[in-house]
């Protein structure tokens, strides 16, 4: 009788596998819909650094739901990569320099004219040749050694990341 029960168990598990989608058995990523197409892959050269920042943010109450490839990759000379984060507090992008490098001496110039915002940069690190971001909304830049947070529109999220980047003792 013991063999008969094991057969039923095997049949039940087999049906479960056939009826449930494969992604139901994988660890959820938090990326949904179209985001999954741009999700940062675990074999990406920046993945380990992006995960380390994600864990650090989590300890500060900023829970990362999804990490995506960033359109800002290659913005600065010496940049090792960039990642877009979707969190419980909002979305932002992060640009990474190699360990030992810093955004501390980067100057960011904002010009607000009418309903447009323009941003230019003077390094080090050296910005890409075009060196201009033109936007219909304000962008906030927060420096933390070799990390540059880029937050679009959301002053409240920028303030939270500022506290994360520069905690008061």
Q: Does some domain include residue 149?
A: yes
Q: Does some domain include residue 2?
A: no
Identify the weakest region by mean pLDDT among 52-56, 59-63, 117-121, 126-130. Answer: 126-130
Closest CA to 161 of 87, 50, 82: 87
Q: Does some domain include residue 10?
A: no
Q: What percent of the chain has pLDDT over 90?
A: 66
Residue 43: give the domain boundaries: 30-165
On whether the CB atoms of residues 70 and 93 are closer than 8 A, the answer is yes
Closest CA to 94 of 119, 69, 117: 69
Q: Does some domain include residue 25?
A: no
At 33, the pLDDT band (50, 70, 90 cuts) reads confident
On whether the CB atoms of residues 128 and 76 are closer than 8 A, the answer is yes
Q: Does some domain include residue 51?
A: yes
Domain count, the chain: 1
Closest CA to 75 of 93, 50, 100, 55: 93
Q: Does some domain include residue 12?
A: no
Q: Does some domain include residue 4?
A: no
Taking the C-alpha atoms of residue 123 and residue 146, their distance in angstroms, rounded to an integer, is 13
State the pLDDT at residue 31: 74
pLDDT in tens, 117-148: 999 999 899 998 788 999 999 999 999 999 99
Identify the weakest region by mean pLDDT among 9-13, 76-80, 146-150. Answer: 9-13
Q: Does some domain include residue 143?
A: yes
């Amino acid at each position: 009788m013991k063999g008969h029960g094991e057969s039923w168990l095997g049949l039940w598990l087999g049906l479960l596998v056939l009826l449930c989608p494969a992604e139901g058995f994988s660890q959820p990523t938090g990326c949904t819909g179209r985001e999954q197409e741009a999700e940062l892959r675990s074999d990406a050269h920046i993945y380990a650094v992006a995960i380390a920042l994600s864990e650090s943010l989590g300890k500060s109450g900023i829970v990362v739901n999804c990490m995506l490839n960033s359109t800002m990759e290659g913005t600065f000379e010496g940049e090792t990569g960039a990642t877009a984060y979707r969190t419980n507090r909002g979305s932002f992008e992060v640009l990474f320099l190699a360990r030992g490098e810093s955004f501390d001496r980067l100057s960011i110039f904002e010009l607000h004219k009418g309903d447009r915002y323009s941003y230019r940069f003077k390094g080090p690190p050296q910005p890409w040749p075009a060196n201009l971001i033109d936007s219909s909304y304000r962008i906030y830049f927060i420096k933390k050694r070799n990390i540059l947070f880029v937050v679009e529109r959301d002053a409240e999220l920028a303030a939270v990341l500022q506290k994360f980047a520069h905690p008061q003792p």
